[in-house]
Amino acid sequence: MTGTHEGAGELAPLSREQALAWVSRWDAQQQVYMPEREDRFTALIDAVGEGAGREDPLVLDLGCGPGSLAVRLLDRLPKATVVAVDADPVLLALGRSAWRDRPGLRFAELDMRSGGWAGRLGLDRPADAAVSTTALHWLTARALAALYAEVATVLRPGGLLLDGDHLREDETVSPVLARLGRALIEQAERRHPAADDAETWSGWWDAVAQDPALTELLALRQRLALDTEHHGSPAGLLRTHVDALRAAGFTEIGTLWQLGGNRLLCGVLGG
pLDDT tens per residue across span 121-149: 999 999 999 999 999 998 999 999 999 99
Nearest to 83 by CA among 4, 8, 155: 155
Nearest to 205 by CA among 88, 110, 109, 108: 88
* Cα distances (Å, whole numbers) of residue 60 to 14, 53, 122, 129: 25, 16, 12, 6
Split at pLDDT 50, 70, 90, the class of 2 is very low
Consecutive H or E run containing 161: strand 155-166
Given a cut of 70, is residue 176 above it in pLDDT?
yes
Residue 240, helix vs strand vs coil: helix
Split at pLDDT 50, 70, 90, the class of 271 is confident
Q: Per residue in 210-238, pLDDT tens?
A: 999 999 999 999 888 776 545 557 789 99
pTM: 0.92
Give the number of other CB atoms < 10 A from CB of residue 44.
25
How many degrees, rounded to 5, is the angle at CA 187 between CA 183 and CA 192? 150
Given a cut of 90, is residue 32 above it in pLDDT?
no
Consecutive H or E run containing 94: helix 89-98
Q: Per residue in 63-104, pLDDT tens?
A: 999 999 999 999 999 999 999 999 999 999 999 999 999 999
> What is the DSSP code string of 17-31?
HHHHHHHHHHHHHHH
Over pLDDT 90: what percentage of the chain?
Answer: 81
pLDDT of residue 1: 40
Split at pLDDT 50, 70, 90, the class of 5 is very low
Q: What span, in angstroms and rounded, lies between the C-alpha atoms of 142 and 120?
A: 21
Instruction: List the beta bridge partners of residue 168.
Output: 237
Split at pLDDT 50, 70, 90, the class of 8 is very low
pLDDT of residue 227: 67
62 φ, ψ (degrees, to nearest 5): -90, 125
pLDDT of residue 197: 86
